[in-house]
Structure 1
Amino acid sequence: MCLIAWNWQPASATPLLLLANRDEFYARPAAALHWWEGDQILAGQDLQAGGTWLGVSRNGRLAALTNYRTPGGARAGTPSRGELVAGFLQSSLSAADYLGTLQARAADYNPFNLLVCDGQQLLGLESRGARVLTLSAGLGAVSNADFQTPWPKLVALQNGLQTQITTGHTDTPSLQALLQDRALAPDASLPSTGVPLELERALSAAFIATPNYGTRASSVVRLGAGEVEFTEQRFDAQGLVGSTFQSFQRA
């Protein structure tokens, strides 16, 4: 995942509403949203390393991951960060305990941000400093930097979600439209992450589209008190290639 925004309202009928884009090379194989073997995890799957970027469990747990953008690129020989999402969904540990066990070995992985919800708490982990964050009720977001770093696309998505909530337009097509915004940020607003300016521009859109790399999945998840709904739209270099909707009652 490269861009996530959410509305966390733990006392409401829908404790968590989450929007997320996964950006990846088009050549990296992935499976569409599906129930994994054992019928307990609902997620897409990275077929190269076996993990996932966003998923939910039968009992209403959720986890999502973004990579931290570093100009030097990823280190070779490290474990897959996608296993951290699946690991939480398979675990019976609380969100706090799961991240607590992960803190000591966070540096074993290439830099990441991990968002986890156990139904009671929404927490984040920034791997670079092994920092755990307890996320307060309300809106939040994370991209390829620390949580709430105000990159233009993060601010735009979070503000757009706020507007949809305020106006009562939280239907999935309206939320998907936010995720599929291709507007580029002006150069003066671009972050400086060590990549060439042309690439920094291309990566500034919520929905990324370059010849070899771009937004591969746009997802809307509603983690209700009783029911979970998960919608995933998938893309390649030519555009939309498929859509999947799943809903189920929490165990």
Structure 2
Amino acid sequence: MCLIAFAWQLSGRPLLLLGNRDEFHARPTRPATFWNEEGHPELLAGKDLEAGGTWLGVTRSGRFAALTNIRSPGARRGPRSRGSLVLDYLTGRSAPEDYLNALVDDLAGYAGFNLLVGNMQQLWYLNSDEARPQALTPGLYGLSNAALNSPWPKLQALRQGLDQHLDSESDSDALLGLLRDSREYPDEQLPDSGVGLEWERRLSATFIRGEDYGTRASSLLAIDADGSITFVERNFGPNGQELGESGWIL
């Protein structure tokens, strides 16, 4: 994913997460579904059909994980797919803390990433550049292609929007609507992440419309206090064309 805002252990709910996945439209992708054919019928997630991993997923037991790439000048490359980091946690049994601690000595195999792994009781975060897993305390967070809560304009806007919905009975349409903000921000507010000003402008929007590259999926993941899980995904094609919506309550 490229942009996530999430509330952890707030308003009587373990998790409320919103996120957009931005990617080249030519990259083959399977929308979210249960991974029955792969032998993981408990797993609900999209699938990157090029590398085999995923960017966001949840299991029936309440294990969840999400990933964003780190974008920075001189960012390193890695031989292995970062999507496997999400998949390996979701299909394994390691506790969140143990899983991230085991990764710390193997970070050179991956390009830069932010990784969230959790369950009903705990949520852990790892930034591969910092290499220090940390448990997240209850709060409202935002994550894009830098460190946790970096003050990128679109991250701040999405986090503020989510905050305004926490104490209301907002439905999925209202929440997912926060992810459709296509405004671009002034140059002086943009980060320098090594992609050039034209791309910084384009990537500054919460929802990116483009013929070749753009927002491919918008997702909502909610875990309630009783353990029920809601997952909704909207998929998009070139120039923001709506391709459909799927939703599950587990």
**Fold agreement, TM-score > 0.5:** yes
Counterpart amino acid of residue 91 in structure 1: G
Q: What is the SS of the residue equivalent to 1:83?
A: helix
Query: Does the 8 Å contact 1:220/1:232 carry over to 2?
Result: yes
5+ residue gaps, structure 1, are: none
Q: Which residue of 2 aligns with 1:176?
A: 176
Q: Distance in 2 between matches of 1:169 and 1:73?
A: 41
Q: What is the SS of the residue equivalent to 1:79?
A: coil
Aligned-residue Cα RMSD (Å) equals 1.5
1:98 Cα deviation from its structure 2 partner: 0.6
5+ residue gaps, structure 2, are: none
TM-aligned CA distance change 1:186 to 1:25, over 3 Å: same
Q: Which residue of 1 aligns with 2:127?
A: 126
Structure 1 counterpart of 2:69, from 57, 67, 70: 67
Structure 2 counterpart of 1:241, from 224, 243, 246: 243
Q: Distance in 1 between matches of 2:179 and 2:244?
A: 16
Q: Where do residues 92-241 of structure 1 align in structure 2 (5 Å cutoff)?
A: 92-166=93-167, 168-224=168-224, 225-238=226-239, 239-241=241-243
Identity value in percent = 48
Q: Which residue of 1 aligns with 2:33?
A: 34
Q: Which residue of 2 aligns with 1:54?
A: 56
Higher mean Cα deviation, 107-116 or 67-76?
Answer: 67-76
Query: Does the 8 Å contact 1:107/1:128 carry over to 2?
Result: no
Q: Distance in 1 between matches of 2:9 and 2:126?
A: 20
Q: What is the SS of the residue equivalent to 2:195?
A: coil
Query: Does the 8 Å contact 1:22/1:218 carry over to 2?
Result: yes
TM-aligned CA distance change 1:169 to 1:227, over 3 Å: closer
Q: What is the SS of the residue equivalent to 1:48?
A: coil
